[in-house]
């Protein structure tokens, strides 16, 4: 990463990472990671297992040392400072609770530590601890030790112990992953509202990209140790930087359909086992410039229009711009139905109206969306602009 692409500190109370690199032996686990988080901003770092999310959090906390790069926190480059001098509130994926302390005392422990900058009195400690225990619905467990708690209860104690502090940055490593869906939804909203009112940035580390997009102001997509894309939920969903990001974002994720294009009489056609269908002119022109006519196109399930066919209609040539498919899976979700469709040997998904009686092996036509159609470079897999 060249110097002109390095982020500048956004504020004396924010977080700035510049070209962070980390190796474990021969494995390069973080590659030139750079981004910022403003005071009160929630930045989610999302990506698959092994992408480097936990290692990144440990580098910021000082529990691991970076091979190169800077961590600027509250106006200080803390990369050479020990963990206790960085003023980071870090919730660990493993919880790391004190086994002999109650839930209350685990949560209160950072406020009673000699390293605590605030020095609150006993009444202030009790008020802050109980507020968080009530927020996370475990106030009734205040006197219980970790050995007498479920995994989800221990996770909430660890979350409270982190949120009770007033650090320079919060790092939450999979903070609600062990909770049931209803409680996850509630706490996402409650924690977001609470953290947005603070003067410190929050990093939310999670493999769940849908969770990341729901809770964060911006999402950093980390894949294979490198930042692939930074943006708001809409940016990642509608214009993923590459096919890896496309596979990870959205609920369900973007469809990726491999097509082989052919030009005939100044028009571009995609060929399949059942024949050809017309595709937008710009698609063929952009792809032709790469020297290859085979690539993946992307489109969202919510933008995919499906038309049921009779047996007679399915045997006729498809409409212009239609793809011939069959229904492979039907998942009703109340307000909509999620279809899995088979096109030759490929699978795509579509969100469709719930009231239609879809059947397995039913023949259908699939229409590509006029807007929101993405083309990915056949060699690099990166999103190609329409004017390429």
Instruction: Write down the domain spans for the chain.
Output: 3-248, 255-376
Q: Is the peptide bond before 252 cis (omega within 30 degrees of 0)?
A: yes
- Crossing angle, helix 181-196 and helix 151-163, to 10 degrees? 0
Mean pLDDT within 172-197: 94
Tens digit of pLDDT for each residue in 38-76?
999 999 999 999 999 999 999 999 999 999 999 999 999
Burial of 178 from C-beta contacts in 10 A (0-12 / 13-18 / 19+): middle
The Cβ of residue 111 has, within 10 Å, a number of other Cβ atoms equal to 21
Q: Report the mean per-residue pLDDT for the chain.
A: 93
Span 89-125, pLDDT tens digits: 999 999 999 999 999 999 999 999 988 888 899 999 9
Backbone angles phi, psi at 332, to 5 degrees: -80, 135
CATH code of the domain made up of 3-248: 3.40.50.300
* Cα–Cα distance, 236 to 212 (Å, whole number): 11
Question: What pTM, to 2 d.p., does this model score?
Answer: 0.91
Q: Helix, strand or coil for residue 153?
A: helix
State the architecture of 255-376 in CATH terms: Beta Barrel (2.40)
């Amino acid at each position: 990463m060249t110097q002109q692409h390095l982020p500048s500190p956004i504020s004396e109370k924010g977080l700035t990472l510049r070209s962070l690199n980390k190796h474990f032996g021969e494995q390069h686990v973080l590659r030139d990671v750079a981004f910022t988080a403003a005071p009160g901003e929630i930045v989610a770092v999302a990506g698959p297992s092994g992408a480097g999310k936990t290692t990144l959090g440990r580098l910021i906390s000082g529990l691991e040392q970076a091979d190169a790069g800077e961590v600027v926190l509250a106006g200080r480059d803390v990369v050479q400072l020990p963990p206790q001098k960085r003023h980071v509130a870090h919730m660990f994926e493993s919880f790391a609770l004190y086994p002999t302390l109650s839930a209350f005392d685990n949560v209160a422990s950072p406020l009673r530590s000699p390293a605590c900058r605030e020095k609150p009195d006993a009444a202030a400690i009790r008020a802050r601890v109980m507020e968080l225990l009530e927020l996370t619905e475990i106030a009734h467990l205040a006197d219980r030790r970790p050995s007498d708690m479920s995994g989800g209860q221990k996770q909430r104690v660890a979350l409270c112990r982190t949120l009770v502090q007033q650090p320079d940055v919060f790092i939450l490593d999979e903070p609600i992953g062990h909770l049931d869906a209803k409680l996850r939804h509630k706490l996402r909203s409650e924690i977001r509202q609470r953290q947005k009112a603070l003067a410190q940035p929050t990093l939310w580390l999670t493999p769940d990209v849908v969770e990341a997009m729901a809770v964060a102001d911006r999402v950093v997509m980390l894949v294979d140790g490198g930042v692939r894309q930074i943006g708001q939920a809409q940016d990642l969903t509608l214009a993923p930087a590459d096919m890896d990001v496309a596979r990870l974002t959205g609920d369900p994720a973007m469809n990726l359909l491999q097509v082989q294009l052919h030009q005939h009489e100044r028009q571009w056609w995609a060929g399949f086992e059942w024949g050809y269908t017309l595709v937008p002119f710009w698609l063929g022109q952009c792809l032709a410039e790469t020297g290859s006519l085979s690539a993946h196109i992307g489109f969202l399930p919510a933008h995919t229009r499906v038309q049921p066919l009779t047996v007679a209609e399915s045997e006729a040539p498809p409409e212009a711009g239609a793809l011939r498919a069959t229904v492979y899976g039907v998942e009703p979700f109340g307000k909509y139905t999620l279809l899995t469709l088979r096109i030759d040997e490929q699978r795509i998904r579509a969100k469709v109206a719930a009231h239609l009686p879809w059947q397995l092996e039913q023949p259908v036509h699939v229409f590509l969306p006029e807007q929101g159609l993405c083309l990915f470079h056949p060699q690099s897999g990166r999103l190609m602009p329409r004017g390429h």
